[in-house]
Structure 1
């Protein structure tokens, strides 16, 4: 391998394990303005407080934000060499009639921007075979030019053409992986195939070339996105290229720390979820509540093992217009009213701890609650009090409309 390319690649993929956590922040370039990247500079500053190996940017942002990559501790800079029309939001552009791609920067230009690596799309599934051939020619040319300048090339393989269906997606992706490897790509980025067996096929098709997994649309919960990471690593993947999962999270730095712990430190999902815990409470955004009551079901099931709103530590009230979630505000009045010390504030994360063994069932906590959100289990003779799920409330994770969110204490 080209010596310069080998050195640069070792700055992207950790030489100790061959893995990488890459933050993709080039979405404005491809899809138009997007939530979380309204100010790329500020988003990167937040992300850089966490741990990551590389950042993906457009040529323009790489030039504008070059000062952020000048220190020894800075992540590697991977810059996009092409643009495609297939990711555009409809509200920002004319309808896409077919997948089209244009080269926006020569590898030599990317080197002058301080790039450690280059990234280039390779789409499969074109209806027009001649266009598929031209696209493969562009990939081959770009990879060879990168080789001349010692610049590692990340090929992003995506089934995206007119012939792509749910039935042939995996086969088209596998074909694209093999073609990108044959073109000489140094490492690959591909979408997750939704199960380990088919993802293992992609790893096998890559013939030893590192395969990173794209993040795709924002996952419903943090746990959902991290479960995918666990699966792809178990299948032999070499890391992730995550964008929306990072910049649309409540805390990009903490989320990156979680990814880093999974990818590089071999932490379990349970251990990693603990990283996200911080002092906070649930905040209700009333206007977003749809009244689905999923939060009540999740709460009762996670604490009592049954789907029963009557055993949930929160409630949904129906208003004249709309709904209102009523959740514990951590005011602490129940703790002060407790006669035996069965309730106390957890010192690190600030949630309410309940010590069942010393509770006498006096119900003073119920009387003290100003919003009457505490319930009482007559059979067990104990109060049902929100404990914030020990730091990561399941109601927040599962709320489909984000009517329940976390806010700092």
Structure 2
């Protein structure tokens, strides 16, 4: 018997894989480059090979038309203008996400921050509500705060990822540790699927594609790349290249050739 959470998860993935563009940056950083016209960016990327997007609730409410891919409502936020930007607070609810037609929800947790305990409390509460409503929960588990000296340390990343899983998340968004060998134990020790974050904008397309391929080889089920897609000179082209690796199982060389063909 298929339940609501499985049905919604199937709308976020394709063949069990995820290629997501998070566009929740407006609350934290304002209308940054690429997201000045966020709805235009969504529709530009929609049919290029994405499985889903991730946005704040106000963007869902103001969409001119429905989209044909999965939709994740982000429920937490903070701003760079705050004296404590690492403290994420809830700005939405699971019930609101259900009313808006979202297929999943996400929350951001900064492990090692002073308010870590408050954010973990929120994560546990949202997890319970997600089970009640049959809503998939994506936990963004970042080692970020006063007690984190090396945020890409594999042991620290593995700890952060495991926290999210044990608190009840259905899928974890994690930072990539930099190579296949160090990230493989992170994925292996997590009982739920893992996707990687894109982080700062990559210097080259090759770097981004290699990071994606490495994460997939290590066992991740996909990526959630923001700036590296919506600030790209040709967002649909980089999406298509990444989809070659994530959804079609192609190698770096094949994906790069695919990207080059869209530059001509």
Structure 2-normalised TM-score? 0.94
C-alpha deviations, 1:324-372, integer Å up to 9, x for none? xxxxxxxxxxxxxxxxxxxxxxxxx5xxxxxxxxxxxxxxxxxxxxxxx
Q: Partners in 2 of 1:261 and 1:168 — Cα distance?
A: 27
Equivalent position to 2:129, from 131, 141, 145: 145
Q: Distance between the aligned counterparts of 1:253 and 1:12, measured in 2?
A: 18
Distance 1:108 1:223, change over 3 A: same
Aligned to 1:11: 11
Q: 1:167 to 1:56 in 2, by over 3 A?
A: closer
Q: Is the 8 A contact 1:98 1:161 kept in 2?
A: no
One of 204, 210, 213 as aligned partner of 1:230: 213
Measured in 2, the distance between the counterparts of 1:43 and 1:79 equals: 17
> Aligned in 2, Cα 1:33/1:167: closer, same or farther, shift over 3 Å?
closer
Contact 2:50 2:239 in 1 (8 A): yes
Q: Superposed, which structure 2 residues align to 1:306-345 within 5 Å?
A: none
The aligned counterpart of 1:52 is 50
Decide whether the 8 Å contact of 1:125 with 1:172 is kept in 2: no
Shift of 1:197: 2.1
Identify the match of residue 86 of structure 2 among 72, 93, 99. 99
In the alignment, which residue of structure 2 is the partner of 1:83?
A: 77
Report whether the alignment pairs 1:185 with 2:169.
yes
* Length-normalised TM-score, structure 1: 0.62
Correspondences of 1:55-70 after superposition (within 5 Å): 55-65=53-63, 67-69=65-67
Q: How far is the alpha carbon of 1:166 from its aligned partner? A: 1.9
SS of 1:142's equivalent? Answer: helix
SS class of match (2:65): helix
Question: Deviation at 1:65?
Answer: 1.1
What is the count of residue pairs matched by the alignment?
264
More contact order relative to length (CA 8 Å, sep ≥ 6): 2
Greater Rg over alpha carbons, structure = 1
Match of 1:375 in 2: none
Distance 1:24 1:8, change over 3 A: same
Would the alpha carbon gap of residues 277 and 167 (structure 1) be closer, same or farther in structure 2, given more than 3 Å must change? Answer: closer
Structure 1 CA distance for aligned equivalents of residues 236 and 151 of structure 2: 37
- Uncovered stretches (5+) of structure 1, i.e. residues with no partner: 281-348, 350-409
| 1:263-306 deviation digits (Å, cap 9, x = unpaired) | 010112111112223486xxxxxxxxxxxxxxxxxxxxxxxxxx
Contact 1:19 1:239 in 2 (8 A): yes
Structure 1 residue ranges, 4+ long, deviating more than 6 angstroms after superposition = none
What is the CA-CA distance between 1:123 and the residue it aligns to? Answer: 1.6
Distance 2:116 2:260 in 1: 47
Asked whether 1:115 is paired with 2:102, we answer yes
Contact 1:122 1:176 in 2 (8 A): no
Partner of 2:257: 274
Classify the secondary structure of the residue corresponding to 1:67: coil
Cα distance in 2 for partners of 1:275, 1:167 equals 33
Note the C-alpha offset of 1:120.
0.5
Change in 2 beyond 3 A, CA 1:116/1:177:
same
How far did residue 132 of structure 1 move? 2.4
Residue 184 of structure 2 is aligned to residue 200 of structure 1: yes
Counterpart Cα distance in 2 of 1:261 and 1:104: 35
Corresponding residue of 1:292: none
Distance in 1, Cα, partners of 2:149 & 2:262:
45
Output the CA distance in 2 between the equivalents of 1:115 and 1:98: 26
CA distance in 2, matches of 1:262, 1:218: 19
Distance 2:231 2:58 in 1: 22
Alpha-carbon distance in 1 for matches of 2:243, 2:100: 26
Aligned counterparts of 1:68 and 1:228: Cα–Cα separation in 2: 32
Distance across 1 between alignment mates of 2:75 and 2:186: 24
